Chains A and B, each alone.
Chain A
C-alpha cells in the first residue's frame, strides 16, 4: 500500500515509466555561466526584498536576511550595570556550544593543559552535528589529493572562499579521519580496511566518508563520550546559554554571562579565553523557509561576537539544502540526505523527466528545483499546497542491488516508513529547505578573531566555504577548526 494519495501516484507512474532509460542516462552538469544564471533568477539569496543591510556595528551596511539583521540589532538581555561579581566561577577556557565543534575544542584545549568549562543552551550533543547524515570529506585515496579537494571547495564556493581557511580544511582532513578513528568512530569500510568513499555534490573525486547514514551522530556521540571521560578537567553545564561576552579594559575576551534556563539566574563565568561554537541560525526561518536545523539554532553566537566587535562575513549567503522533505506535511523541511543522490537517485519532475545534474553544488541544485516548480510549473503539488520534485530513490536499489537502501540509509527508511512510504519502492518528494549558514564571524586558520582571546569554530564562522558549502565539509569544518580553536585558546 502506498503512503501517497492517488493524485501523486499518477505522477509516480510516470517516474517509473522513465526509470529504465534514466538508469542509463544522467542529465549533464551545466557550465559556470549557466550555474550563475539559475542562481540569479531563483536562489533565495538573490531575492532583494528579503534582504537588508545591518544598521549597527563594525560590519554596518553588510547585506543579510531581514530576520538576522533584526536579531543583530536586538536589545541585550542584561544592562551595563550588570554585577560581574555574581560569579559562576572561573576557568582557563570557556567553550560556548555543545555540538561537535565545541566538543572537539574541549578535547584539544584539555590536551593542551587547560581546565575547560563547556556551557550549552540545550543538552550536550543536541546540535546539528548529531543530524548530519551524509558524510565527511577527506582526500585520502591515491586518486585524490588535498589540492584537488581545495579546488572543489573553492569552485563550489564561487571562488570567494578565504584561501588560508580552505588550506587548513583540506590539509587537516585526513588527519582528522585518523583522529576520529583513534577515538573509536566506526567509518564504513571494506573488509581489508579500505574506506568506502563516494561522491557528494560538487566533488571531482570520491572522498565522502560515512558511518551508515548516522555519520554526524556517530561522531557526536563519540566526542561527547570522550569529553565525559575527561570530567576531571572538563565541566559541562547544560541549559545555560551565554547572553553576553565580557571584555576587559584592553579589549580581551575574559568570559561570558550565562543564564540558567531553569532558575533564570544570571552569572559571570570568567576565563582566559573564550571559544564560540554555537552553530548557525536555521531556526530563524529566513524568508519563511522550513529548516533542517535543530531547535536551538538561532544564531546566538553571531550576535554575541558581533556585540563585542568581531566583523561579519558572507552572511548574505545561506544554504538551502535542495532535498528537504516536501511530503508528508508532518516532516516538511526535514533533511533527505544528499547521500541518496550520491548513491544514484536522480531528481525528476512530475512528468518523470530529469531537469538537472543530480550532484551540482547545493545552491545550484536548489535553485534548479525552485525553477522547475515555479517558472516551468513541472513540480508536484501536494494537498497542503506544498510543491516539490521527485527524488527517485528506487534507482539506488536498481543500481546497487536490493537491500542497499536499508543498509545505507536506515534513518531515512525509518523516517518515511512511519508514514507508509517505502523509499526503496517509491520516490521521495523534496523541495529546498534552509540548512546552513555559509557566512558568520570572520576567523583565521588558528580559530582566532579580531577580538583578542575570542576564538571560533564551526558554522558560526564565515569564510571557509565562500558563498556555498559542499556536502561533507561541515562535519569536516567542525572537527578541523574545533581542534584548532581549542588548541589556540589553551596556549
Chain B
C-alpha cells in the first residue's frame, strides 16, 4: 500500500465496488486509484502523477442500476457505492505525423493532417467525458471553422487522457488535433518577442561572456557580497503585467 492514501486508520463504512469484475469493500472517501490500492492492486499501468495532470489513468465505469457509461481520471474521481470499474491506460487514437516547419498556420494544415475533423457531429459526448471540464465540442467547432488560435486557447488545459476520443461516435482524435492547433499557434500565430530576439543577438555576440567569466572567478566571500548587494526589482503589484 502506498503511504499517501491515508491508511493506518479504522476504515469507516466501507462500500462495495467492482474492479475488473471482482467485488471489493473500500472506504468511500478514496479516489478510484487509492481504492484499487486499498483492494490490493499494485498499479503498473493506469497510474501517473496522481493529481490529474497526466493522462495515465483514464477509467470507464458504470453505477449499479444506472444504464449510463461514465468516465473519469482514477486519481481524481472518488468511488461510489456499486461502481463497476475498468481502467483505460491509453486510447489508441490516430495521431498524424508532420513536419511543423513545413506547415502553414491555416485550416489547410489542420484538415490535411486530420481530414476527419470535418466529420464532427457536434454531439458533445466529448465535452461530457472531459475530466478537465474543457468544452471539447466548442474547440472542435473552432477547428472546423479554421480558427486555430481559438482551438488552441480553448483546449489549453488538455492533459491528453483520450477520454474524448473514447466516447466519440465520429471517431475523432480531438486531443491530437488540438495539440497540432496549439503548436501552430505557438510557432506561427503569436507575435515574436522583440526583447527575446535582442537577447539572443547579445548572447551570440558574446556580450555577457566577460561578466560570467568574472563571476565564475570570484571567491565565496566576494560572491556573497555581490549577492547581498543585489537590487531586487520591485514587484509590479498594481496592474498586473499580464492584463
* Complex contact B50–A295 (CB within 8 A): yes
* Complex contact A130–B215 (CB within 8 A): no
* Complex contact B192–A190 (CB within 8 A): no
Identify whether the interface residues of B are mostly helix, strand, loop, or mixed: loop
A62 within 8 A of B: no
Tell me which residues across on chain A come within 8 A of B120, comparing CB atoms: none
Binding site for B on A (CB under 8 A): 29, 31-32, 122-123, 125-126, 130-131, 139-143, 145-148, 150-152, 154-155, 159, 163-164, 167, 170-171, 174-175, 177-178, 181-199, 204-206, 211-212, 214, 217-218, 221-222, 225-226, 228-229, 231, 239, 261, 285, 288, 290, 294-295, 329-335, 344, 384, 399-401, 404, 408, 410-411, 414-415, 418
A288→B2 CA distance, assembly (Å):
12
Binding site for A on B (CB under 8 A): 3-4, 6, 29-31, 34, 43-45, 47-54, 56, 76, 89-90, 95, 97-100, 132-133, 152, 156-157, 159-160, 179, 182-187, 190-196, 198-200, 203, 208, 211-212, 215-216, 220, 223-224, 226-228, 230-233, 235-238, 240-243
* Complex contact A225–B179 (CB within 8 A): yes
A139→B224 CA distance, assembly (Å):
21
* Complex contact B100–A294 (CB within 8 A): no
* Complex contact B97–A229 (CB within 8 A): yes
A225→B49 CA distance, assembly (Å):
19
**With A150-B212, A183-B183, A221-B179 in contact, do A140 and B48 touch (Cβ < 8 Å)?**
no
* Complex contact A228–B97 (CB within 8 A): yes
* Complex contact A167–B216 (CB within 8 A): yes
* Complex contact B182–A186 (CB within 8 A): yes
* Complex contact B191–A189 (CB within 8 A): yes
Closest to A150 in B: B215
Closest to B233 in A: A205
A188→B241 CA distance, assembly (Å):
11
Identify A214's interface contact among B3, B157, B242, CB under 8 A. Answer: B157
A218→B195 CA distance, assembly (Å):
22
* Complex contact B132–A414 (CB within 8 A): yes
Give the one of B30, B34, B199, B223 with max A CB within 10 A: B199
A131→B48 CA distance, assembly (Å):
10
Closest Cβ of chain A: how far from B229's Cβ, in Å? Answer: 10
* Complex contact A344–B237 (CB within 8 A): yes
* Complex contact A222–B156 (CB within 8 A): no
* Complex contact A239–B44 (CB within 8 A): yes
A195→B179 CA distance, assembly (Å):
22
A393→B11 CA distance, assembly (Å):
33
* Complex contact A206–B236 (CB within 8 A): yes
20 contacts across the A-B interface (CB closer than 8 A): A122-B47, A122-B48, A123-B56, A141-B195, A145-B208, A155-B223, A159-B223, A174-B199, A175-B203, A177-B196, A178-B196, A184-B183, A185-B186, A193-B193, A206-B241, A211-B156, A331-B51, A400-B243, A401-B243, A410-B157
Closest to A331 in B: B51
* Complex contact B4–A147 (CB within 8 A): no
A164→B217 CA distance, assembly (Å):
11
Closest to B33 in A: A295
* Complex contact B53–A131 (CB within 8 A): yes
**With A154-B223, A221-B160 in contact, do A184 and B208 touch (Cβ < 8 Å)?**
no
* Complex contact A147–B215 (CB within 8 A): yes
**With A182-B187, A195-B195, A195-B196 in contact, do A154 and B51 touch (Cβ < 8 Å)?**
no
A331→B156 CA distance, assembly (Å):
24
Tell me which residues across on chain B come within 8 A of A164, comparing CB atoms: 216
A167→B215 CA distance, assembly (Å):
9
* Complex contact A295–B49 (CB within 8 A): yes
Tell me which residues across on chain A come within 8 A of B233, comparing CB atoms: 143, 199, 204-206
Identify B190's interface contact among A193, A206, A418, CB under 8 A. Answer: A193
Closest to A207 in B: B233
A143→B193 CA distance, assembly (Å):
15
Tell me which residues across on chain B come within 8 A of A222, comparing CB atoms: 179, 182-183, 186
Tell me which residues across on chain B come within 8 A of A212, comparing CB atoms: 156-157
A123→B48 CA distance, assembly (Å):
8
Closest Cβ of chain A: how far from B124's Cβ, in Å? Answer: 20
**With A199-B235, A285-B3 in contact, do A239 and B45 touch (Cβ < 8 Å)?**
yes
Can you name 4 extra interface pairs (CB under 8 A) apart from A222-B182, A384-B6?
A: A163-B215, A183-B100, A194-B195, A330-B29
A224→B132 CA distance, assembly (Å):
21
A331→B242 CA distance, assembly (Å):
30
* Complex contact B212–A167 (CB within 8 A): yes
Tell me which residues across on chain B come within 8 A of A229, comparing CB atoms: 97-100
By Cβ-Cβ distance, the 9 closest A-B pairs, closest first, are A184-B183, A193-B191, A155-B227, A147-B211, A184-B186, A163-B216, A186-B186, A400-B240, A140-B199
